[in-house]
Structure 1
């Protein structure tokens, strides 16, 4: 077993779980019903899976026998993509959650807990004299 095969196996150990996590994010986006559940299903595993796949790709690039200028350029682009994904994914999820909460895109009434309901649904906010739940 040579070093190239070892580094290929290590990069595969990062790429396969990462691709599974990105696939599970896509399945979660299709299967979940409410907007907030979809946002949660999309952002968490997608970011982690993307990072795992990038780490595997970086390991593969660094361990290539001809680590030339072209591979270094690819490495720089991958690092920029990682930074961009880490900066934009949380902000996008937060904005989607705020819009969903403001517009009332919660899902069906029977799926909501007390803390998920908007302020107008709380009896004490609508009627301050109402008994506490």
Structure 2
């Protein structure tokens, strides 16, 4: 019974983070902000949801050795998300900057301004 409540809390928090990522994707204006909204809270939401699923599976009275493979798949899912999320965000940010999809020029910091001018000069 206690594991069900703990599992529900983790899954609920994970669902909240995934929902906030979806809202951020719709509400934020420029591409770089959207990349941030997709990568950060969505990965945290996935991790919390998987932790809730692990607690639920381990806390089940019928948990035995045949279900340990399910736990391995859930752990691999989290590891894969942690490895691919930052790479995807970096690549999307780089392409959006190269294509000029990042918003107004004053949105960038001083270190990024020369690269912005270089992108505009190319035909």
RMSD across aligned C-alpha pairs, in angstroms?
1.9
Q: Is 1:7 aligned to residue 3 of structure 2? A: yes
Distance 1:50 1:111 in 2: 34
Distance 1:18 1:100 in 2: 28
Alignment of 1:77-96 (within 5 A): 77-96=73-92
Say which structure is richer in helix: 2
Distance 1:49 1:93 in 2: 16
Deviation of the 1:8 alpha carbon: 0.5
Deviation of the 1:111 alpha carbon: 6.1
Q: Which residue of 1 aligns with 2:71?
A: 75
Q: 2:37 aligns with which of 36, 41, 65?
A: 41
Query: Bigger relative contact order, structure 1 or 2, given CA contacts below 8 A and separation 6+?
Result: 2
Distance 2:79 2:108 in 1: 36
Q: Is 1:112 aligned to residue 107 of structure 2? A: yes
- Structure 1 gap segments, 5+ residues each: 127-133
For normalisation by structure 1, the TM-score amounts to: 0.79
Distance 1:13 1:104 in 2: 41
- Structure 2 gap segments, 5+ residues each: none
Larger Rg, first or second structure (1 or 2): 1
Distance 2:69 2:79 in 1: 16
For normalisation by structure 2, the TM-score amounts to: 0.85
CA gap of 1:119–1:111, structure 2 versus 1, over 3 A, is closer
